[in-house]
Amino acid sequence: MKRMMTLVSAALLTGAGAPTPDAPHDDPYVWLEDWTGPRVMEWVEAENKATTAAFQGDPRFQGYYADALAIASAKDRIAMPMQIDGRIYNFWRDADHPQGVLRWTSEAGYATATPQWTVVLDLDALSKAEGHKWVWKGATLLDPEEKRALINLSDGGEDAVRLREFDLSTGHFVKGGFDVPTAKQRVAWLDADTLLLARDWGEGTMTKSGYPFVVKALKRGEPLSAARDIYRGAASDQLPTSPFILSDGAGNRAAFLNRGVTFFGYETYLVGAQGAVKLPLPAKSNLVGMVDGQVLVQTSQAWTSGGVSVPTGALAAVPLKALQSGEELVPQILFAPTPRQSIDGVAATKGHVILAYNDNVRGRAMVLTPNAAGAAKGWTSTPVALPDNATISIASASEHGDAAYLSVAGFLAPTTLWSIDAAKPEPVQVKAMPARFDAKGLVVEQYEAASSDGTKIPYFIVHRGDIAKDGSTPTIMTAYGGFEIPMTPSYAAITGKLWLERGNSFVVANIRGGGEFGPAWHEAGLKTKRQIIYDDFAAVAQDIFARKLSSPKKFGIYGGSNGGLLMGVEFNQHPDLWNAVTIQVPLLDMIRYEQIAAGASWVDEYGSVSVPQEKAFLQKISPYANIRKGVAYPTPYIWTTTKDDRVGPQHARKFAARLKEYGIPYHFYEDTAGGHSGDADIAQGARLQAMQMVYFSQRLESPPAR
């Protein structure tokens, strides 16, 4: 199985650039699309000055920032494990290492309360020595030995990375090893001396949205110019063509390519001596691992092959030998979800498959095992007994053994880490994060709201059990609503400390567009059907008001990326339902989104202005296009980052400029580092959290004592 050491995963991908020549004549703020132009940055500096004064000058800010930073940098956090070469690795940030260190300890040492860590890579020291602000973006391991890795380093947080070969056993970059210049790129180890590499190879090798579609084999010691073609996608592709490796504990290993024809539709290829051969797999499916020569396929559409009908949202297995020989595939169904279930994670161990899934937005886990008579005779499933009303995630697993780690977290339950032996899955708690806020008196309730079409939309609300049901409780709500990404219970320590401890409430809405209930929940809001997503969100708020758990004057909302688009739409469509709206790293100009950053890759989700019906819908919902003079909007807080080469800061800038033109009050802040996730270092994240919470306090609570 391909293994990555990573800090975060992203739902949206990359691309950035200056305004295109066909900029519309009726858009006075297209100049703000110039990504880092001097005139634009002067504008940003002036806006930041005003917002910094408004929020960081608030007497609450320093306390909020100190609390957020203490939580983010606490040394008693759980060091999440990565099982590599018989060791436990971890990427760690704290106050002494704000950019982070890669370190390891023994498996036995990790089980103790105070492991002895050995640092192999210090990003703070490396940044100081090399004059860059290196941000960790994961690493690709060379299997099966797992002693070498390609470290992915981002300068300031961009998605574009430099690839550098690193020796994990010595803790040094390999002298004369692979060192691939910065680009938006995808890589896999074909063998110890050969990389499969997708990147910008020059003119005609990148899609409109800035993805590489040409994969080449690069030999050790060769310049990029000597790399030989393996496969070429097309400039019209929406996502990159990405190489990857699957291997298992039985010694099976194979190289594959995913060609991102559309955002949700792939062509999958097997790389062999005869080149890249297309596989007869459904477009909406992903290869997610391999056990005992059985390749795991996760589906997002119904698939019939060899007389077997695999439902949408399922996990199935097909023999690697069948993929290699070209014979008809006869999939075995390992897991078929009910309408209220969805797969959340899949990992292969040496002889088993660990499956994490959601059941009515509550985490579950099971172990799937090929029968002793051989995988062709079927699989058995064993449930893993873990705490309820929480999210269960697979923290680490390896094809070199059956030991694995699962993390469990709930709104009021700090994250715990559990070890299991997949051969006998009886979980044992090995780590527990201390509580970061006082949860005494708090309760978590799950309700359902009826949307505009009658569909029941679940949501969680965290609040004091004794609140007065008179609408007076300050409440903030978030959602995402896109790209089949679910929002599930989690331990939001900073929100708990800065918001819940003060008697306020917090809501997560499980609206359509996400993946809470699998592909159908997502597809219900695609393209011109998207208004139902926005109706769902408003319906949840109205249900909360009907229960008198809050009221519009005391209600705030926030979301980022696609969730930022959600916030922009709700700001326009229902200004009367909220008194605070935080719009984070957002898409907002849906007329030009295809020409900004990676926008062209998302037409599967949003539609395209090149299609008349879809253009009409985008014009109807585009937040930038639908701001109106004379409307009593709540004062919004819009924040983004200059280094965001994924969505891009252009949307947020233009939206703020239009508000200013219309005389509508707003706050705008653009951090100059951190990329799309604002993760350049722990101080940046704490600062952004504190500023946002000051904003909500100013809008929804009483003024602070002075």
Distance CA 324, CA 304 (A): 19
Crossing angle of helices 531-546 and 612-621, rounded to 10°? 30
Given a cut of 90, whether residue 11 has pLDDT beyond it is no
Residue-wise pLDDT tens digits, 397-456: 999 999 999 999 999 999 999 999 999 999 999 999 999 999 999 999 999 999 999 999
Instruction: Please give the share of the chain, as a percent, with pLDDT higher than 70.
Output: 94
Instruction: Say how many C-beta atoms besides its own lie within 10 A of residue 702's C-beta.
Output: 7
Q: Are residues 306 and 443 in the same domain?
A: no
Given a cut of 60, whether residue 92 has pLDDT beyond it is yes
Strand partners, 582: 558, 637
User: Look-up: residue for tokens 């299991």?
Assistant: 420
pLDDT in the model for residue 60: 97
pLDDT in the model for residue 431: 97
Q: Are residues 631 and 574 in the same domain?
A: yes
Q: Which of 434, 468, 500 is the last residue of a domain?
A: 434
3 state SS of 576: coil
The answer to whether position 639 is within a domain reads: yes
Q: Which of 352, 463, 574, 676 is catalytic?
A: 676
* Residue 528, both tokens: 């011109």
* Helices and strands, counts by H and E, the chain: 13, 40
pLDDT in the model for residue 18: 43
How would you class 328 by CB atoms within 10 Å of its CB: exposed for 0-12, middle for 13-18, buried for 19 or more?
exposed
Distance CA 514, CA 517 (A): 8
The answer to whether position 43 is within a domain reads: yes
pLDDT (mean) for 60-64: 98
Residue-wise pLDDT tens digits, 574-616: 999 999 999 999 999 999 999 999 999 999 999 999 999 999 9
- Do residues 636 and 623 touch, judged by C-beta distance below 8 A? no
Given a cut of 80, whether residue 17 has pLDDT beyond it is no
Q: Are residues 459 and 556 in the same domain?
A: yes
Does residue 676 carry a catalytic annotation? yes
Q: Are residues 381 and 360 in the same domain?
A: yes
- Identify which of 605, 661, 669, 596 has the alpha carbon closest to the alpha carbon of residue 638: 669
pLDDT in the model for residue 20: 47
Given a cut of 80, whether residue 24 has pLDDT beyond it is no
Q: Which residues contact 533 (CB under 8 A, 6 or more apart)?
A: 481, 482, 511, 512, 513, 525, 566
Residue-wise pLDDT tens digits, 215-248: 999 999 999 999 999 999 999 999 999 999 999 9
Q: Are residues 546 and 669 in the same domain?
A: yes
- Do residues 98 and 682 touch, judged by C-beta distance below 8 A? yes
Given a cut of 80, whether residue 253 has pLDDT beyond it is yes
Residue-wise pLDDT tens digits, 538-575: 999 999 999 999 999 999 999 999 999 999 999 999 99
The answer to whether position 13 is within a domain reads: no
- Do residues 365 and 390 touch, judged by C-beta distance below 8 A? no
The answer to whether position 138 is within a domain reads: no
pLDDT in the model for residue 529: 98
- Identify which of 345, 539, 514, 553 has the alpha carbon closest to the alpha carbon of residue 448: 539
pLDDT (mean) for 638-645: 92
- Do residues 639 and 647 touch, judged by C-beta distance below 8 A? no
Q: Are residues 328 and 428 in the same domain?
A: yes
The answer to whether position 316 is within a domain reads: yes
Q: Which of 419, 434, 449 is the last residue of a domain?
A: 434
Q: Are residues 328 and 468 in the same domain?
A: no
CA 567 to each of CA 33, 234, 464, 586, 588: distance values in angstroms, whole numbers, following the listed order: 21, 34, 26, 9, 9
How would you class 421 by CB atoms within 10 Å of its CB: exposed for 0-12, middle for 13-18, buried for 19 or more?
middle
pLDDT (mean) for 628-646: 95
Domain total for the chain? Answer: 2
Q: CATH number of the domain that 407 lies in?
A: 2.130.10.120
- Identify which of 603, 592, 621 has the alpha carbon closest to the alpha carbon of residue 532: 621
Q: Are residues 470 and 429 in the same domain?
A: no
Least confident of 3-12, 419-428, 470-479, 498-507: 3-12
Strand partners, 140: 4, 150
How would you class 41 by CB atoms within 10 Å of its CB: exposed for 0-12, middle for 13-18, buried for 19 or more?
middle
Distance CA 463, CA 479 (A): 17
3 state SS of 432: strand
Given a cut of 70, whether residue 304 has pLDDT beyond it is yes
Given a cut of 90, whether residue 285 has pLDDT beyond it is yes
pLDDT in the model for residue 7: 33
Distance CA 643, CA 16 (A): 10
Written as one letter, the residue type at 677 is S
Does residue 172 carry a catalytic annotation? no
Distance CA 44, CA 426 (A): 54
Q: CATH number of the domain that 481 lies in?
A: 3.40.50.1820
Q: Are residues 383 and 472 in the same domain?
A: no
The answer to whether position 651 is within a domain reads: yes
pLDDT (mean) for 81-100: 95
pLDDT in the model for residue 22: 53
- Do residues 436 and 71 touch, judged by C-beta distance below 8 A? yes
pLDDT in the model for residue 373: 58
Average pLDDT, the chain: 93
The answer to whether position 208 is within a domain reads: no
3 state SS of 595: helix
Q: Which of 127, 209, 398, 561 is catalytic?
A: 561
Strand partners, 308: 305
Q: Which of 434, 449, 467 is the last residue of a domain?
A: 434
Q: Which helix (H) or strand (E) holds 651?
A: helix 650-661
Distance CA 622, CA 600 (A): 16
Q: Are residues 682 and 669 in the same domain?
A: yes
Q: Are residues 328 and 341 in the same domain?
A: yes
Written as one letter, the residue type at 204 is G
Residue-wise pLDDT tens digits, 120-165: 999 999 999 999 999 999 999 999 999 999 999 999 888 899 999 9
Least confident of 17-31, 266-280, 370-384: 17-31
CA atoms within 13 A on the CB side of 570: 37
First to last CA, the chain: 58
Range of the domain at 367: 280-434
The answer to whether position 19 is within a domain reads: no
- Do residues 417 and 432 touch, judged by C-beta distance below 8 A? yes
pLDDT in the model for residue 682: 86
Instruction: Please give the share of the chain, as a percent, with pLDDT higher than 90.
Output: 90
Q: Are residues 410 and 550 in the same domain?
A: no
